[in-house]
Structure formats: structure tokens, C-alpha cells
Amino acid sequence: MAELPGIVVTGASGRMGQMLIETIRASEKARLVGVVERAGHDWIGQDIGAAMGGAELGVRVTDDPLEAFANAQAVIDFTAPEATLEFAALAAQARAVHVIGTTGMTDAQIADLGPAARHCPQIRAGNMSLGVNLLVQLTRQVAAALDADFDIEVIEVHHNKKVDAPSGTALMLGEAAAEGRGQNLADISDRGRDGITGARKRGDIGFTAIRGGDIVGEHDVLFAGEGERIVLRHMATDRAIFARGALKAAIWGQDQGPGQYDMVDVLGLSAR
């Protein structure tokens, strides 16, 4: 019987890193073979299970990603944009599937991921949950069915530690709405209103970001017309939904050639 795919988790001490480690540990379809944290972190050298406050898992936290990736079939990476760029090059070198959940990347940083994907499958999504990826499709359909008499606003709500805005999910939803209208989001995006902004521009897609407490992640797409409103909503109450999606992507990626993929590919959702 073929050995289960060996997976490395980067950003091991993070909110998502720990959730991913738990998810892989509990899975019968993959093995945890490495965990990476940034140099200088307290957990470097410790057993990851013990560092997380539980039983030892026999995997030590390292700050050497190249060494960790060398023996892995997949890398699951929910860290920060600069780190993800470094990991993309190293995953390519190791020919390991690179699953990228990191958000807040600039367009230039996203373009810089391209060369690495010539050597390994690279699966990236601002949200790895089934529910949000379905909501993206619904948003595209509703936007295509309505004209610009309906103002579109994407409202996202997250915990007070989140460092990027709009969220990666909000951008996915905004892009889907723009596609539904046959437009580029960059041309009609309205972000960061403050002061005398003037009336809302017809056809724009607005973004609102709310931060507070321990909220895992909530996204509304509001279609506001004269005398009626439609709201499409996703509410995440458990980070496990993102970890399960990422693990599914890492396993799915074992059968793919080099290239760039997203969760629509992984989940086999209907054509765009």
C-alpha cells in the first residue's frame, strides 16, 4: 500500500498552524512530517505536540524550511506574504504540493508566485472552506442576474488580530461580483470611505471591514436596490473548516501536475 502523503505545516504556532496540525494528526489520509516557525521563535527545537500543550508527536519545530520540505509531499502554508513567497520557491525545489492560505498579498507578490508553479502544483485560495467557495459562485450568478440598479457591498467581520483588509475572502467575493457584471474589480472597487466621500458611484463594488474580539470570519454580499435588498452570507464559527479544506487540497494535489489551482478545482465545483 502506498505511504500516506507527508505534510509540513508552516507558521506552526499560529491560529491556523495549530488547527492544521490537529487536523492532520487526526487524519487517516496524511502524516505530519515537519513543522516550521520563524527563526527566533520560542518553539524552535521543541516537539510540536508538547509545545501545543499536549502529548509529544515526534516532530520538532524547525526554522529551516528547506530541510523540512525535502522529505515532504506537501506544504500547507498559512503565514504572511513574504514568508509565502520564500516557501513557494522552496516547495518548487522540493517538488512538493504548495497549499497557500496566506492572504494580504499584493498583486505583484501574487505574480511572483507564478515561476514556482512551473515545478509543483500550487493551490491558493483566500478561503479554503466549502461554504465560501459555494458563496463565490452564488455571488457571481446573482451579480450577473442584476444590473447596476443594485449596489453591491462586501462586508467582512474578523477577530482583532487580523492584519490585512479587505480579507482574502472579501476580495474573492468582490472579484466574483465584478466578473458577474463583466467588469474588472480594479476598475470599480470602492475601499476605505472616510469624510465627504460624495454619493455612491453607480456600479461600484464597496468593501467594509469590521474587526473585533475573537470572531472567526463572517462575510456578507449585499445587493441593495430600490425597495429591496438581497444578502448572501457565510459565517465561519470554527477554523477547522479552513484546515479541512487545506488538507483536502494537499491530498488532491498529489495527483496533479505543476501549475496554479484554486479550491474550485479541488472541490470540483461547477464551471465558472
Ligand X SMILES: NC(=O)C1=CN([C@@H]2O[C@H](COP(=O)(O)OP(=O)(O)OC[C@H]3O[C@@H](n4cnc5c(N)ncnc54)[C@H](O)[C@@H]3O)[C@@H](O)[C@H]2O)C=CC1
| Residue 158 annotated to the active site | yes
Q: Which is nearer to ligand LZUJQKHR, 16 or 94 (CB)?
A: 16
* Nearest-angstrom CA–CA distance, 219 and 138: 13
Cβ–Cβ under 8 Å, residues 91 and 70: no
> Interaction with ligand X in 111-150: which residues (CB under 6 A)?
125-128
Task: Give the x/- contact pattern for ligand X in 214-233, rule: CB under 6 A.
Answer: --------------------
158 binds, among ligand LZUJQKHR, ligand X, none (CB under 5 to 8 A by kind): ligand LZUJQKHR
11 binds, among ligand LZUJQKHR, ligand X, none (CB under 5 to 8 A by kind): ligand X
Cα distances (angstroms) measured from residue 21 to each of 31, 81, 114, 271: 10, 21, 27, 32
25 a known binding residue?
Answer: no
122 binds, among ligand X, ligand LZUJQKHR, none (CB under 5 to 8 A by kind): none
Decide if residue 14 touches ligand X (CB under 6 A).
Answer: yes
Decide if residue 57 touches ligand X (CB under 6 A).
Answer: no
> Interaction with ligand LZUJQKHR in 190-219: which residues (CB under 6 A)?
217
62 binds, among ligand LZUJQKHR, ligand X, none (CB under 5 to 8 A by kind): none
Task: Give the x/- contact pattern for ligand X in 179-218, rule: CB under 6 A.
Answer: ----------------------------------------
16 a known binding residue?
Answer: yes
Decide if residue 101 touches ligand X (CB under 6 A).
Answer: yes
**Cα angle value 236/125/44 (rounded, 5°):** 85
To ligand LZUJQKHR, the closest distance from the beta carbon of 74 in angstroms equals: 20
| Residue 119 annotated to the active site | no
170 a known binding residue?
Answer: no
Decide if residue 11 touches ligand X (CB under 6 A).
Answer: yes
Q: Which is nearer to ligand X, 143 or 236 (CB)?
A: 236
Decide if residue 166 touches ligand X (CB under 6 A).
Answer: no
**What single string gives the DSSP state of each residue in 140-159?**
HHHHHHS-TTSEEEEEEEE-
Residues designated as active site: 158, 162
The residues of the shown chain that bind ligand LZUJQKHR, judged by CB under 6 A, are: 103, 126-127, 158, 162, 167-169, 217
